[in-house]
Amino acid sequence: MRLLALDTATEACSAALLIDGVVTLEYEELGRGHAERILSMVDSLLAATRLTLRELEAIAFGRGPGGFTGVRLATSLAQGLAFSAGRRLVPISDLRAIARLALDDHPAAERVLVCSDARMGEVYWGGFERGRMDTVEPVSAECVSAPQAVRLPTGWQRADILAGRGAALYAIALRPLARNAEMTRLLPHAGAIARLAAIDFARGCGIEPREAAPVYLRDQVVQKVRE
């Protein structure tokens, strides 16, 4: 399997190549300038492996939720690369990518509640479980709300762990929802996206480039800012 992944949904900017199960990652946390940096990361990875886009089997991207500009950037760049290479896309939730990293950090954990910073006093959140063959499966809808409104998935008494920058920012409100109060793996990265995408692609979850769409969750951001 040869797959390129990229992500710009948060402060983290990253690209990764997965080749036969081995992931090579370029990662940097930036205040701005994701558009310029992500392109150089992709070029660097391809040059180092002497691969072209057409030699890849698929292209994956972090489809959100996250910052509006960053999510749009990752979606449009992945879409453009896929069109030019004639390859399919694999969209991956950025919350699920954080869950993947958190479960890697805690091999005994099964359930992770991910809360990512959504700004304006809110978090993007969702519940995930370790699945068969060590996959990561969503067990609740992805939502955006105030930290106090975060709810555990049906059937959970508590999460095993909390993850995400939102969990760290709003620890007082969110700690009671998890057995382990450690705020592990705060930001997603393309390495986790690549690993999840390889499994999804093998399941037949690839899409055509024209079908690529960002996931914002918050549709009323302009109105909220004005208010």
- pLDDT tens-digit series, residues 4-56: 999 999 999 999 999 999 999 999 998 788 999 999 999 999 999 999 999 99
- pLDDT tens-digit series, residues 95-133: 999 999 999 999 999 999 999 999 999 999 999 999 988
Question: Band of the pLDDT at 221, cuts 50, 70, 90?
Answer: very low
Say yes or no to pLDDT of 225 above 50: no
The burial class, CB within 10 Å (0-12 / 13-18 / 19+), for 217 is buried
**Res 105: pLDDT:** 92
Lowest-pLDDT choice from 24-33, 174-183, 194-203: 174-183
Q: Which two tokens stand for residue 91?
A: 């969209």
- What residue has token string 């499994």? 199
In three-state secondary structure terms, 141 is coil
* Helices marked H in 63-116: 68-85, 94-105
The burial class, CB within 10 Å (0-12 / 13-18 / 19+), for 103 is buried
Could you tell me the domains of the chain?
A: 2-93+188-226 (3.30.420.40), 94-184 (3.30.420.40)
In three-state secondary structure terms, 58 is strand
